[in-house]
Amino acid sequence: MSYPPYGPPSGFPPAPGGYPAPGGQPGYPGYPGAGPGYGGFPASGGQFSMPTPESASAAAYGGPPGGMPSYPPQPGGLGFGAQAGGAYPPAPSVAMPNAPNAACPTYSQPTYGGAPGFGGPQPGSYPAQPVTGYSQPSAGYGSSAGYPSAPAAGQYGAGQPGYGPPPTGSYGGSYPGTYGAPGVGPAVGQHGVGGQYGQSTGYQSVPAATTYKIMEEGTLKPFPRFNAEEDVQKLRKAMKGIGTDEKAIIDILGYRTNDQRQNIKLMYKTCYGRDLVQDLKSELGGHFEDAAVALMFKPDEYDAYELRRAMRGAGTDEAALIEILCTRSNSQIHTINNTYKMMYGRKLEEDIISETSGHFRKLLVSMSVGGRMENQPVDMQKAQADAQKVYNAGERRWGTDENTFNMVLASQSYEQLRAVFDAYSRIANKDIEQAIQSEMSGDLATGMLTIVRMIRNKHGYFADRLYHSMKGMGTDDRTLIRIIVSRCEVDMKQIKLEFQRRYGQTLDAFVRDDISGDYRRLILALVGGSI
């Protein structure tokens, strides 16, 4: 029994693997023809034989995917030709595609043709998704060949040129650094101002040459067999009764990290109903007491304590203000402000205004708000313009415009300022430090030089501070204690290396020659020296 031929419904070409179109109409684009023996076969003379269940299924659902072999014929089956020897027919010559990622399958849709510019995702990758907002490409990667162009925002399927390489300079920001190291490497949880893809400042940007993470290591490491309960028992025994066992106190406080010491402080009060810091103050004395008490503060509490001490009473310790405010990151400055208010019921900025004056006060206020740009891509044209502003504000005019120096040094990221310093050297044929020393004086010059030196070599800056705290007659014990306590868990190994490189003598030897007694033994324990 045969049937007259049918045309394709509604003008659509026939599905592959089913009835061929009359008059030589093309099949679906992009689909290979069905292999021999698949589905029904046409009868001669334009007539078609009765379709089998298999051929009807093929007509309804389409042929197998390209490259897959057809099913073998059933011997004697209706509508199938016999195969020699009952063997499977040879597979078509189309190569098997790589298996897609099982987690992200790709799909073939017979209703879509092979439109130019749109292909399926590469094997093993995610299929492209429509987006409704701004799409940001991954840093440093352009689009791979064969990927579809990203659709315009809010328009599904709207083609546009594929992503090219990201604009130079869009990914130049570095991570904020560890404690006391803004802009070198990110305090956790910070968000920089610049560095977003596509963000423009009106200047040409290039990546920073110094956007790297500096390896840093402290000399004080967590005690491996830490037991807070055992430690508080030893401390109580060392301070109970007549006399004090200073060695037992050093063996604990000098070899426990700040986190471990905070646990000890809490456990001491829990076990004995006494405040450990007050007991230390009552049992110890001199600079040994100062160092032991400093170890019991959290980092932000110790900074707040030192800032308040620097401004309390007669006179002001400007060097301490500069060292803390000009070397901390934005997030650390914000934490210090909150801690200062909590500890003393006063605002740090108001105390700075009342205790300092002139352009030095402006610099410290600028530092105390924690508004420096961080993770900012280096903008070479802006660096050139800022360097010219600084040159015009100092070397090129009669007198000095300190406000311009303050604006540039207090607001720009450390990466950007490195580019400004390089540009300044080319413009003025003079280093920026020389310019500050010739244009400024007193505490203002010291504060601005601190910023420059921290940017260029922070480990060298702290090595210099330690050297000058012990050089000559007498010792600046406050500075020595503050730097050792603040840096021993952060980057003291690098500071020690820089100290020896600059001064030809180890920091341990300097400490051993300059201070003595239990004070010396505690400081040497913190810097990893032999007691």
pLDDT digits (tens, 9 = 90+) for 398-446: 778 999 999 999 999 999 999 999 999 999 999 999 999 999 999 999 9
Tens of pLDDT along 478-508?
999 999 999 999 999 999 999 999 999 999 9
Q: Return the pLDDT at 167.
A: 39
* Interatomic CA distance for residues 468 and 145, integer angstroms: 60
Q: What is the pLDDT of residue 43?
A: 41
Q: What angle do CA 267, 180, 207 make, to 5 degrees?
A: 140
CB 372 within 8 A of CB 328: no
> What is the C-alpha R_g of the chain?
38
Q: Which residue has the higher pLDDT, 8 or 315?
A: 315
> Strand 48-49 to strand 2-3: parallel, antiparallel, or no bridges (unpaired)?
antiparallel
The whole-angstrom separation of Cα 234 and Cα 250 is 11
**Average pLDDT of the chain to the nearest whole number:** 74
pLDDT at site 133: 38
pLDDT the model gives residue 298: 98
Asked if 48 and 3 touch (Cβ cutoff 8 Å), the reply is: yes
**Are 451 and 490 a contacting pair, CB within 8 Å?**
no
**Contact between 467 and 499 (Cβ < 8 Å):** yes
SS3 195: coil
Question: b/e for 150-189, b at 16 or more Cβ within 10 A?
Answer: bbeeeeeeeeeeebeebeebbbbbbbbbbbbbbbbbbbee
The residue among 479, 465, 466, 393 whose CA lies nearest residue 436 is 393
Residue 237 has pLDDT above 90, yes or no: yes
Give first-to-last CA distance, the chain, whole Å. Answer: 108
- 10 vs 193, more confident: 10
Which among 174, 185, 150, 181 has a CA at the least distance from the CA of 164?
A: 150
From the options 3.30.70.580, 1.10.220.10, 3.10.20.30, 2.40.160.40, give the CATH code of 372-440: 1.10.220.10
Highest mean pLDDT among 157-171, 203-217, 381-395: 381-395
Judge contact between 214 and 195, C-beta under 8 A: no
pLDDT of 186 strictly over 90 = no
Q: Is residue 18 scored above 60 in pLDDT? A: no
- How far is 142 from 128, CA to CA, in rounded Å? 15
In whole angstroms, give the CA distance from residue 231 to residue 251.
10
Diameter of the chain by CA atoms? Answer: 122
Q: What is the pLDDT of residue 288?
A: 98
Residue 237 in contact with residue 248, Cβ under 8 Å? yes
Give Cβ neighbours of residue 42 (< 8 Å, ≥ 6 apart): 19, 20, 48, 49
Residue range 114-132: mean pLDDT, rounded: 41
Structure tokens, 120:
């399926």
Q: Is the pLDDT of residue 358 over 80?
A: yes
pLDDT of residue 110: 41
Residues 221 and 256: their CA atoms lie apart, in Å, by: 7
Q: Can you give the pLDDT at residue 334? A: 98
Of 351, 298, 332, nearest to 190 by C-alpha is: 332
Span 302-310, mean pLDDT? 98
Mean pLDDT over 111-140 rounds to: 40
- For residue 42, which phi and psi values (nearest 5 degrees)? -75, 145
Q: Which of 389, 454, 482 is nearest to 428 (CA)?
A: 389
Question: Looking at residue 113, what is its pLDDT?
Answer: 41
- What per-residue confidence (pLDDT) applies to 396? 78
The closest alpha carbon to 394, from 444, 438, 338, 457, belongs to 438
Q: What is the CATH number of domain 228-284?
A: 1.10.220.10
Q: Is the pLDDT of residue 148 over 70?
A: no
Amino acid at 67: G
Q: Which of 61-65, 199-203, 473-477 has the lowest mean pLDDT?
A: 199-203
d(CA 329, CA 177): 8
Residue type, 414: Y
478: tokens are 């406050």
**Mean pLDDT across the stretch 381-405?**
92
**What's the pLDDT band for 376 if we cut at 50, 70, 90?**
confident
For 481, how many CA atoms within 13 A lie in the half-sphere containing its CB?
A: 24
**Token pair of 33, please?**
């023809």
pLDDT grade, residue 213 (50/70/90)?
A: low
By the 8 A CB rule, do 166 and 137 touch?
A: yes
pLDDT above 90: percentage of residues in the chain? 56
- Confidence grade of residue 529 (pLDDT, cut at 50, 70, 90): confident
Residues 6+ apart with CB under 8 A from 272: 232, 236
CATH 1.10.220.10 residue spans of the chain: 228-284, 372-440
Contact 148, 119 (CB under 8 A): yes
Question: Can you give the pLDDT at residue 430?
Answer: 94
Query: 143 phi and psi, to 5 degrees?
Result: -80, 145
As a whole number of angstroms, the distance between CA 521 and CA 292 comes to 11
The mean per-residue pLDDT over the stretch 184-213 comes to 40
Residue 398: the pLDDT is 79
- What letter would DSSP give residue 208? -
What gap in Å lies between CA 427 and CA 48, rounded to an integer? 89
Structure tokens at 105: 């399958």
